[in-house]
Chain A
Amino acid sequence: EPEVTQTPSHQVTQMGQEVILRCVPISNHLYFYWYRQILGQKVEFLVSFYNNEISEKSEIFDDQFSVERPDGSNFTLKIRSTKLEDSAMYFCASTPNYGYTFGSGTRLTVV
């Protein structure tokens, strides 16, 4: 069964550093998403991406965040200057039109 692949599975970074979280969505899917889950809290929507542009973003997705689909297969989430409160599990998801498939997540720890 096709999978959404996320790398790395765990990343530790120092506060203020830039991080890039990588995702390979399922190849024929058209819509791409990032969600995050802070430890002990709800899974929250960050951003959706369709047709090479952001289609919707939450209030969490401020100027320090950006997304890209640089080469037609990868879908990346960049956090420019990480803060302690960015520590969370980040999930990538994709869908052809209906029915999400989630990746296994990247656990980001900011120290």
Chain B
Amino acid sequence: AQSVTQLDSHVSVSEGTPVLLRCNYSSSYSPSLFWYVQHPNKGLQLLLKYTSAATLVKGINGFEAEFKKSETSFHLTKPSAHMSDAAEYFCVVSEDYGGSQGNLIFGKGTKLSVKP
């Protein structure tokens, strides 16, 4: 069965410094991997997705993630944090079949705080 582990429940960075949110996954098949962001009282917004193409995936707002099969990791990074990046981030895996997307398995989330 597939699962996702987000290694940090809370990460705090200063504005302008790099962001690293860590995620490890477990999957029986070739997974699709996603990062979603949730701002307070808002819905889930897709940041980026990996679907077996390029292992370095670029997303919105300057975020990117690298799929490393040997390490079963899909860490999210951003070179320079902005105050507006403060939110909760979810690493998500789905196992796709027959060309259709499977159900999503969410990690517990990492709350990112950005200090001025």
Near B by CB (< 8 A), chain A positions 5-43 give: 31, 33, 35, 41-43
- B104 partner residues in chain A, CB cutoff 8 A: 35, 43, 45, 100
Binding site for B on A (CB under 8 A): 4, 31, 33, 35, 41-45, 48, 56, 91, 95, 97-100, 102-105
A48 touches B106 (CB 8 A): no
In the assembled complex, the Cα of A62 lies from the Cα of B46 at a distance in Å of: 29
A105 touches B43 (CB 8 A): yes
A97 touches B101 (CB 8 A): yes
Query: Which residue from chain B places its CB closest to the CB of A9 in the assembled complex?
Result: B41
A100 touches B43 (CB 8 A): no
Interchain Cβ contacts under 8 Å between A and B, 29 examples: A31-B100, A35-B104, A35-B106, A41-B108, A42-B106, A42-B107, A42-B108, A43-B44, A43-B106, A43-B109, A45-B103, A45-B105, A56-B103, A91-B43, A91-B44, A95-B101, A97-B99, A97-B100, A98-B96, A98-B99, A98-B100, A99-B46, A99-B101, A100-B46, A100-B101, A102-B43, A102-B45, A103-B43, A104-B43
In the assembled complex, the Cα of A4 lies from the Cα of B43 at a distance in Å of: 10
In the assembled complex, the Cα of A72 lies from the Cα of B90 at a distance in Å of: 31
A48 touches B103 (CB 8 A): yes
Query: Which residue from chain A places its CB closest to the CB of B109 in the assembled complex?
Result: A42
In the assembled complex, the Cα of A43 lies from the Cα of B109 at a distance in Å of: 9
- B90 partner residues in chain A, CB cutoff 8 A: 43
A33 touches B101 (CB 8 A): no
Near A by CB (< 8 A), chain B positions 1-56 give: 36, 42-46, 49
- A31 partner residues in chain B, CB cutoff 8 A: 100-101
- A33 partner residues in chain B, CB cutoff 8 A: 103
* Known A98-B99, A98-B101; 19 more pairs at CB < 8 Å: A4-B43, A31-B101, A33-B103, A35-B106, A42-B106, A42-B108, A43-B44, A43-B109, A44-B106, A45-B104, A56-B103, A91-B43, A91-B44, A98-B96, A99-B49, A100-B101, A102-B36, A102-B43, A105-B44
Closest 9 CB pairs of A and B: A104-B43, A43-B106, A102-B44, A98-B101, A45-B103, A102-B43, A42-B106, A42-B108, A105-B43
